[in-house]
Structure 1
Amino acid sequence: MSQAEFDAYVDEYDAQHAQSVRLSGEDPDFFAEYKAKEAARAMAAAGVAPRRMMDFGAGRGNCVAHLQRAFPDAALTALDVSSRSLSHCEARAIRPLETVCYDGQTLPFADATFDMVFTACVFHHIPEADHIRLLREIRRTLSPQGRFVLFEHNPWNPATRHAVATCPFDANAVLISAPEMRRRFRAAGFTDIALRWTLFFPAMLAPLRPLERMLGWLPLGAQYCLVAR
């Protein structure tokens, strides 16, 4: 989607998002918090305590406050192609942050600027031809021990496919399988790539969620997470 298309969905985004995930029994905030906490676990496992982090494709800032809570000592930069979307990030933040609107091509940051780059369900909106180039740009902005944490929809999960098919702002989305996304990471020069599938149980089965830590190998979760250096 172009900047103009994203700008057009800003006002309706939250309502449309909530409608698309209603079958899960959760609201969008649940998923945003889940991702931030998973990112914190991944960074702790890597032994990296971020001082600067970027939310790539931050949109309306759904993950902003959760990232700030999960990483209380890190400065956050919210990046997006939609200036209208970014206008909501500061309102959702729990402490000051930087917002940057970019051209969708080149990240306006120096090499090794960030210790973590986080992105949540953004790449399925980006044309496939641009993926490896943007992944290289993200890698360029990471510090030597920094990590890129990506969440994406799992096209092998029927509930996910239904949610995407019924969401207006996902009309042009092209879902990417985890093995294919991992291949693109490698082509962009990332190393130490870890993959796990996430979000197996809807709200009605919430008591089973502690089992998810043991199910990351199973490619049936609603989404997947890739962590790479």
Structure 2
Amino acid sequence: MRMSIACRPSFGVTPVFEAEFDKFADEYEREHAASIRLSGEAPAFFARYKINDVADVLRRRGEKPLRILDFGAGVGNSLGPMREAFPDSEIVLLDPSSQSLDIARTRFPGQAQCQPFDGETIPYDDGHFDLVFTACVFHHIPEEFHVGLLAEIGRVMKPGGSFFLFEHNPWNPLTLHAVKNCSFDENAVLINAVQMKTRMAKAGFLKTKTVYRIFFPRFLAKLRPLERYLAGVPMGAQYFVHAVKPGL
């Protein structure tokens, strides 16, 4: 539930949506917290677990990314844990909402480069990034643009680099409740992991792995260590797809 690149006029949607997401930037934390209250967790919990998962996977693979792209970074909610996990990396926050990027700069001065996005072309050379991360962005983007944007992400990744795409799981009833009650997600179309992997394959990401996450609300937090055994069960509140760019 972050700022969405779907509001770009270049996607064929009305420019009003871009203004709406700029307006929501100041209200984001409050609205987000209200929509997920049944989980018992604050938005920071969801930002941190994602980065921890990414760091754990990369650690097992022996990867230390030098350049990281946060695609659709919004107000920078992932930047704090990302900077902790990757203290020596160059981090770029990419988003079409200028107001969201302004908030991110204020929250984390000097911690990352805030890069405006035109909704079509990521303004970096081929093979620039070792790691691309995106969290709950694609459900805001019209389906017809998914493959093209995924291919653009692949273009700026170096061969052998990792791409982590996190999304809400539409097969989880609490996720559906949260999305229904979040003003940012009014026009969202949730994507199941099978659909997402198919679109990623069309964009050139042929080697992928899906992991389902967040099975237990906070009052059942003692059971969360069991989640590693449930990673293949498609009922977690969210999931991520890890893809490795071909070429090495």
Into which bin does the TM-score normalised by the smaller protein fall?
over 0.9
The partner residue of 2:190 within 157, 160, 175 is: 175
C-alpha distance after superposition, 1:94-144 (max 9, x if no partner): 752100011111111100110000001000011111000000000011111
Query: 1:90 — aligned with what?
Result: 105
- Is 1:30 aligned to 2:52, yes or no? no
CA RMSD between the two structures: 1.1
Normalised to the residue count of structure 1, the TM-score between the two structures is: 0.97
Q: Whole-Å Cα distance in 2 between the matches of residues 79 and 123 of structure 1?
A: 14
SS in 1 for 2:206: coil
- Is 1:62 aligned to 2:77, yes or no? yes
Share of identical aligned residues, percent? 51
SS in 2 for 1:216: coil
Q: Whole-Å Cα distance in 2 between the matches of residues 79 and 159 of structure 1?
A: 29
The partner residue of 2:206 within 178, 188, 191 is: 191
Do the aligned partners of 2:120 and 2:149 also contact (CA within 8 Å) in 1?
Answer: yes
- Is 1:128 aligned to 2:143, yes or no? yes
Query: 2:228 — aligned with what?
Result: 213
What stretches of structure 2 of length at least 5 have no aligned partner?
A: 1-5, 8-17
SS in 2 for 1:110: coil
Correspondence list, 1:124-163, <5 A: 124-163=139-178
What stretches of structure 1 of length at least 5 have no aligned partner?
A: none
Normalised to the residue count of structure 2, the TM-score between the two structures is: 0.90
Do the aligned partners of 2:68 and 2:130 also contact (CA within 8 Å) in 1?
Answer: yes
Query: 1:114 — aligned with what?
Result: 129
Q: Whole-Å Cα distance in 2 between the matches of residues 167 and 94 of structure 1?
A: 28
Between the two proteins, the alignment pairs up a number of residues equal to 229
Q: Whole-Å Cα distance in 2 between the matches of residues 189 and 133 of structure 1?
A: 10
SS in 2 for 1:34: helix
Deviation at 1:45, TM superposition (A): 2.7
Q: Whole-Å Cα distance in 2 between the matches of residues 120 and 40 of structure 1?
A: 15
Letter in 2 for 1:30: F
